[in-house]
A and B are shown apart, each in its own frame.
Chain A
Amino acid sequence: MNDNTRFQEFLGGMRAISPLIAAVIPIGLVFGAVAATKGLSPVEAGLMSALVFAGGSQFVAMDIWTYPASWTGVGFAALLVNIRHVLMSASLGTRMGGFHQPAPYLSMLFLADEIWAMAEFRAKVAKLTPAWFAGLVAPFYLAWVFSGFAGAALGAFLGDPVVLGLDFAFPAVFIVLVMGFWKGPETGAVLLASGAAAVATQHFIPGVWYIAAGAVAGLAAAMITGKTRDVEVTP
């Protein structure tokens, strides 16, 4: 692949991620504003966004933030919230046939829900390349870090995100992505199991166990429907 096609691939990745950047900037601003209310400086908020780069766990960390900060508490919370990354990285790893070491590992350090989802989508229609993946990552990463910094610096000047409905941007993006992964009744079984288990777990167990519970239930459903299908085709 020459430099020109590589650049075209990079631009293609940027185009694919652009709507998600519009969705993530308000979320980053809200994160920064929340961090400021917990006593984090703009530099600290930006540093967290740059080094952790995982919105869900950053919001959970702000929820349980203490002064001085407890590294065990927020570290464990981050592990729990991001346990879904194990599944996501296993799945995306199978799509990285065109990557040479150490590109898969470097790329995976920038795994985020939105980036992962766009990359999985891309892999369904074309070969996933490192340049295309980098096109997803670079603008999204910068947007997340700078919006977190700006949110902490602007703090109280921002309006209430809940009144504006901006807190809904993230779930809305996920719903659009879920609709795109529909493949038939098996997907329905996976979604039903995952959704039911997540809601039930969230109702009875505090914290973020619901994500892991829903994911495992969805996979179990996939295993069961896969098994019955095997039985049907075997005489």
Chain B
Amino acid sequence: MTVDLATLVAILSMAAATVITRLSGLVLIRHVSLEGSRRKVIESIPPAVLMAVVAPTAFATGIAETMACAVTAFAALRLPMLVSVALGVASVAILRALGL
């Protein structure tokens, strides 16, 4: 149960990096006005970022992952989040077990 000095410094360095990224957006919007078309671009940030994070898993990892992503997406049209996620996890486990 010890903490190594180099490890601690590395953790602090990561923490500093995340504090910078977390606060800089907030600082940015104080200095940039957000009217009209800029507003529209800001509103498209959520889908743009979320898609960028999942795209390699959804389209470039394997057949099991791609199919499970499709299952999750269809489930999300009708079912609550937790059920959709559980269906996605179950389908990826089954498809991988089948060797896909």
A interface with B by C-beta (< 8 Å): 19-20, 22-23, 40-44, 47-48, 51-54, 56-58, 61, 68-72, 74-79, 82-94, 104-105, 108-109, 111, 113, 117, 120, 162-166, 168-169, 171-182, 186-187, 190-191, 193-199, 202-203, 210-215, 217-219, 221-223, 226-227, 230
Contact = CB atoms under 8 A, between A and B. Distances in A.
A22 B82 CA distance: 8
B59 to A, nearest CB: 5
A44 B60 contact: no
Interface in B34-52: 34, 37, 40-52
A117 to B, nearest CB: 7
A44 B9 CA distance: 11
B68 to A, nearest CB: 6
A175 B75 CA distance: 10
A47 B3 contact: yes
Given A105-B26, A230-B37, A47 B52 contact: no
B65 A108 contact: no
B10 to A, nearest CB: 4
Interface string B1-28: 1111011111111111111111111101
Given A82-B17, A90-B26, A171-B69, A203 B55 contact: no
Given A52-B15, A175-B58, A195-B59, A215 B52 contact: yes
A48 B72 CA distance: 31
Contacts of A87: 25, 45, 48-49
A82 B43 CA distance: 19
Contacts of A175: 54, 58, 69, 72-73, 76, 84, 88
B56 A74 contact: no
Contacts of A223: 37, 41
B18 A78 contact: yes
Nearest to B60: A199
B14 A78 contact: yes
B89 A169 contact: yes
Contacts of B73: 175-176, 178-179
Contacts of B68: 165, 168, 172
A71 B56 CA distance: 28
A190 B26 contact: no
Given A88-B25, A180-B76, A218 B52 contact: yes
B99 interface: no
A178 B50 contact: yes
B50 A177 contact: yes
B15 A165 contact: no
Nearest to A202: B56
Given A86-B25, A203-B60, A172 B88 contact: yes
A42 to B, nearest CB: 7
B7 A86 contact: no
Contacts of B49: 84, 87-88, 194, 211, 214-215, 218
